[in-house]
Structure 1
């Protein structure tokens, strides 16, 4: 009789992959801390007597009056700097499909279904709150995104003894979540398309692909990359989509004579720039909502704000956890020996920490600076804070349990001496 091996839902990968993920998580955690500082600075400045200076700064126009490059500082951070963030998301997607957990359909099923449920349910809950909010349904995608940098920063503070498999699952979940968010932005938040510019972008992407697989001339890659971004910017599709497309085209395979792939080397060079500057700069320009003088009360009475909070806190939790339970049960998989269902519930709550992509979709849905967009910011900040606090309660208890286990094992290893 043939004994079927037990399928583990969150089993670890090989050592090189585990080491790469550990390094990536450290960078994202530091980036989350910088992101938090930038968001708090913007929020504080926007609620002081000098708030007009903040709004004037982010509205300052930069760039030549050519090819739509005369954008405000806020637009430069969302259309320009976030393209680098999404380029890295494309790189990570490519790596996951080539070397990571997404290459194995059996392993990929759990985070994919969990991410899809964690997108669908928040959107449904948001839509349900907009029954009396005419014209507000366009923001349905706002509470669907998880901010991996913020979430990992919270996890680093509260989870020093939590299993590494939990962090790896959060990273994979966020990668799939980013892919869904990118698709939503490209399809649902593109009002008009210039076929000519889109054709130019496709030709430039093809030239980039040929160059990256040929001589890999760095100057040519930079030229094709920037011109692709410019063509997408003028095509009507959000410019961040260009970053994803370029990232997906970067090679994830190691060529003969190379220690690492080109994609890994570019990721290593750009990730500190993205985490330390690009995303915090966007957060600084996007998070400065004025809540003094009655602004907070008005926001909390708006169905948009309530829908965003409900979607992030309840929708993400039930969607991610329910999707995970359903997939594991249907595939008859078992959890990794290091994990329990309470661990995964706490992680599902933490998935409600949404920021970067949620704020971006809010701007695309309602227009930067509109009343609805200001209320979206309140909802995203409140929902993310509430999710972080609830996750802290859940995961701190689990962390204490794992710490006691670790201490007991250490005493046993040292013959009772501690």
Structure 2
């Protein structure tokens, strides 16, 4: 794997434009399997995970064209419903093709998923939901097979935890179960859920309540083609906003949806960051001192996002006092902390809580990325540290950040990718 060489400290200035949402594009690409006609998706980010999902759609028999942020998906003429392990192991979101394939073609097989190492994320909620929709589930040799067993008039599925992936999977599968009324209780409320529902409705499905804790899906016989634009990536936007604030910079972030980042804005304002909304999709971020210490609780949306937890810990590592970050989504998601200590950060972790003792300065170091968001956090640490930082095993950062080296360079960072 490659590495990113970062020179610090630097003060980020200029502007950066946010790409389309990876976490929205992936489930919508999976949902395109439902459609009997061409689907056109705009504002699709050019990322490793997107290319993996395109390979999965191709393996299922779809014809997919992807160029300049536009993905065109034509339905399969000779469908294949056995998705190979080599593709599914690369990322967790690939598992969400199981339900749509089984709903459309009566039976499908997909390997248990891979992805980032950020803690235990079982697919039990997915499988229990599919069973309540009338599918039989069989797991052998790491392969999950779902087969339509019986038609269900009404399925009420109450999720023990508002899992984003399970909500998306159940919602998409239920969309073309003709005559089945599905209710998802304790559903995830993320903007990506809403975006998926908008896509499904444009394709002729009937989904109500997305963005709330109760989603209703009235199954239709088939889905047709449509054109849909992917929402901005709130996690990418949040990462750049945090990076600008952490470097005591002054820069503009464009192309975001401010309403998706209220929890982050509240945290940053409480720590002393100046955030000015210049337009509907444009924010100026500026910071002229070390942050004030704060307490953050990471919770499902609309709370503070777990995918910004590693980055905000870096920001707080130079605070003027002691901060607390409580992680309730993935309690073991602190693998980046050991690497941050190599910079000189003072952080203690116990039972899902990080105590961050602010220090005056960080020093550049050799570190290794443990997962996608940790990689971004280590890059931010390199930007604020004195000297040279080498973030090794960094290629996974390209799973979630389009053109990150160029975008940071445009913000005055001194950063280079080396294989």
Per the normalisation by structure 2, the TM-score is 0.26
Decide which structure has greater strand share: 2
Structure number with higher helix proportion: 1
| TM-score when normalising by structure 1 | 0.26
